[in-house]
Amino acid sequence: MLYNYNVRYMNYLDDYIIFLKTEKKLGVNSITSYEFDLDSFFKFFTLDVVNCTKNDILGYIGSLKGSSVSTINRHISSLKGYFNYLLENNYIRVNPMEDISILKKSKLLPKYLSISEVDNLLNIKLVTPFDYRNKAMLELMYGTGLRVSELVKLKYSNIDFENSLVRVTGKGKKDRIIPMGEVCAYYLKIYLSEYRNKLLKRNTYDEVFLNNHGKPITRQGFNFILENIKESAGITKTLTPHVLRHSFATHLLEGGADIRSIQEMLGHENISTTNIYTEVVNDVLKENYLGFHPRARKDS
């Protein structure tokens, strides 16, 4: 319930809440959120709401420093709705929220492994059929950027060794063809020709990668294997199948690959999804420049 910090204009708040309930048809949780945000504002701004200015609003937003961007944006949105209501109903003549925009959220750049970390991860000691399977899986994941869902569904018929290509069906049941490097193809051939049948036992599955029961490996099974290999490799970063996919794309771009080609290989419908990797690479280039160029910093 809103506190009576601005007695003269509390009826506007009551009217606004009724408006949200009856006209906007908002639910209980949304109404409670609006009440909380407006209550917070009127604890800060105790003057006549008609005299509220843009500077008052900016001062209030500044008082929220330390809150998350999402929380601050929620408060801004609540105030926008409230002051728009006051303006439309002629309770105020000037809307102090008119030029106030929500804050931009910082983009979460994809996490990826360095090339040396990938080398450590793929340096699997090959002894058992499971070792060869794991080596083939990780080389394929890193070498083609497959999603884990695509990896576990991969069948022998999807692999074209003659032309070094892999065909997968991705999101939206869209097929795509991805080139396969020599290293990846080499270990995949060894696994298929010498070790897969030992894992298959008496089963008759077409999927390439099998678990210790001779059945197709699951996403959960792959994640478990990846985590164990990560620990053995001494990698401290969070490592998921998607981090391998991000590493594939980032290292390609660092090596000079065309962004459109990477989009095709990843199976992104929109180029904007792939463009996030250019920001990763730009950050890496900037760090290298600042770290190694003799005139990158004024005090160097």
Catalytic residues: 147, 171, 242, 245, 268, 277
Per-residue exposure over 73-89, b if at least 16 CB sit within 10 Å of its own CB, e if not = bbbbebbbbbbebbbee
Rounded Cα distance between 218 and 237, Å, is 23
Count Cβ atoms below 10 Å from residue 213 Cβ, excluding itself. Answer: 11
Token pair listed for 85: 């209501």
Residue 5 DSSP label: S
Taking the CA atoms of 90, 94, 99 and 104 in sequence, report the sign of the dihedral they define. Answer: negative
DSSP codes of every residue in 147-171: -HHHHHH-BGGGEETTTTEEEEE-G
The answer to whether 188 and 139 are in contact (CB under 8 A) is yes
Rounded Cα distance between 87 and 83, Å, is 6
